[in-house]
Amino acid sequence: MRVEGYGRLSPSIKREFLTYTVMGLKKDSGKIDERAESLYNKIKNISRQKFELAREFIKKIVEYHSEPAIITGSACFIIAGDIVYEMAHSEPRPEKSTGTLVRGSDIDIVAVTENLPEGSIKGIDNMMYKEKYYLIKNPSYREEIDYIVKDIQKVRTQLKFDNFKSMIASKILDEGKFLYGSRDIFKKIRGMLLESRIPEKLLAIEEKAIVNRENARSYLLSSTDILPEEECMKLFYTKQEKEEIF
């Protein structure tokens, strides 16, 4: 099967095969199981290390603030992405803004504030930005932090789930785990997610996506000719994929 000008694999599909898959002969099934168990433990360990680095990253930023108690009481830091699912990897990859090779999965952090002065919000953002590039450039780390700082009122608006960016933001908050700061704000966000029925909305989309993926897989495996352009556009992306948090 050829898809002229469009054929490519999603990075997530490549990662699934290259990093998370163990293959071997049937006669070596015991060794395969051992290797799979070893790989699973390695991935869990990488995820744990990245989680701990994220917590130290935020703790440092809060403690450097002139009034750290105000920040811990008025801001909640949430971690999301690969780390939450214990699927983080450490394979070198280029960070898109600098081209620097970083160690595997990025660290996604959402900072949600409530009744925090604008100056303090900007201060948190500036410190996170500064530390982000320190971790990218420092050879001892080479880790990428992807973060956003937003007020809880923006969260409330995003939970309307009425456009693509809001859906992504809602998904990130739904999967996120508490990292640092105010647990009261974290509990409030969890309540807002349930009130807006975000978990069931995401589940419905996931179930539909599974069906669509299986249909696309079957279609591609059964095709032997060059696909019409209209079909290509349905099944492949023609621009570079970017992971964003909103």
Give residue 237's pLDDT. Answer: 54
Q: What is the pLDDT of residues 69-86, one digit of tens each?
A: 999 999 999 999 999 999
Question: What was the pLDDT predicted at 12?
Answer: 65
**Burial classification of residue 246, based on how many CB atoms lie within 10 Å of its CB (0-12 exposed, 13-18 middle, 19 or more buried):** middle
Helix axes 29-64, 118-137, angle to 10 degrees: 130
* Alpha carbon 152 to its chain's center: 20
Amino acid at 150: K
Closest residue by Cα to residue 112 from 41, 198, 179: 179
What's residue 240's pLDDT? 46
pLDDT for 231: 67
List, run by run, the mean pLDDT of 10-residue segments along the chain (246 residues).
Answer: 51 72 90 93 95 95 88 95 91 85 93 92 91 92 94 96 92 96 97 97 90 83 76 58 59
Enter the pTM of the model.
0.84
- Among residues 165, 176, 173, 189, which one has the least CA distance to residue 244? 165
Domains of the chain, residue spans: 11-235
Residue 55 DSSP SS3: helix
pLDDT of residue 235: 63
Quick one: pLDDT at residue 33?
93
Give the fold, CATH level 3, of 11-235: Beta Polymerase; domain 2 (3.30.460)
Tens-digit pLDDT profile for residues 95-116: 888 888 999 899 999 999 999 9
pLDDT at residue 5 in the model: 53
